Amino acid sequence: MTVPTQQRVAIVTGGSRGIGRASAQRLAADGQAVVLVYGGNKDEADQAVGEITAAGGQAIAVQADVADEAAMTAVFDAAEQAFGGVDVVVHAAGIMHLSTVADLDLDQLDRLHRTNIRGPFVVAKLAANRVRRGGAIINFSTSVMGTLLPTYAAYTASKGAVEVLTRILAKELRGRDITVNAVAPGPTATALFLDGKDADLIDRMAKMAPLERIGTPEDIAEVVSFLAGPARWVNAQVLRANGGMV
């Protein structure tokens, strides 16, 4: 496959569904070649790649556990082999476990931390060493950092780690012309958010924002597109994409 010299190449974890999938599609529409990383659902990943290529974009799918350094190293290798390098890394993969602190299952906490803390550090470590000059690293936090909703303590604590990682990594990459930012969505219509919530709860959460609606994956992908391309003077920031909720 021949890739134009100036074409940017993006790795998107969690790219088979939800915000990751919308971000991969948006970056492909922006002209970037995309390596879509998925955890286990090959059918959804292949479908996402098919939609991108049918629209005239370039994409491949690679399976990997984001907390496995060897597996993620293979993802970066695949990106370089297929498209010549890596310019953008969007780390959208994550899991959620909701519980009060008093009732928290510590095994679930360990699982959450493996994906939501070790995973971002694995991806950031590789990105710091392999993203080309002029590139961008984009992590994901949550707007619950501001709302501090009950039952979200474990999940939000893991995202607090991501915010600190983001800001410090930006400083560590001084002189490399690589931006490092995080997006912190509010309530967004993804399976991760909607699972286990009834219509009344979703409606109440929608009313928390002045725009009085739940966000869409495409809303968040628009922010990712900005950070991955034109936003060269935005660095070490957390953008709260939540319709004004906090």
Helix extents (H) in the chain: 18-29, 42-54, 69-83, 106-113, 119-130, 144-147, 153-172, 191-194, 199-206, 217-228
Select which of 155, 156, 190, 193 is catalytic.
155
Exposed / middle / buried, residue 148 (Cβ in 10 Å: 0-12, 13-18, 19+): exposed
190 — phi, psi (to 5°)?
A: -125, 165
Place of tokens 């991806």: 123
CA atoms within 13 A on the CB side of 236: 10
38 noted as active-site residue: no
Residue positions annotated with a catalytic role: 155
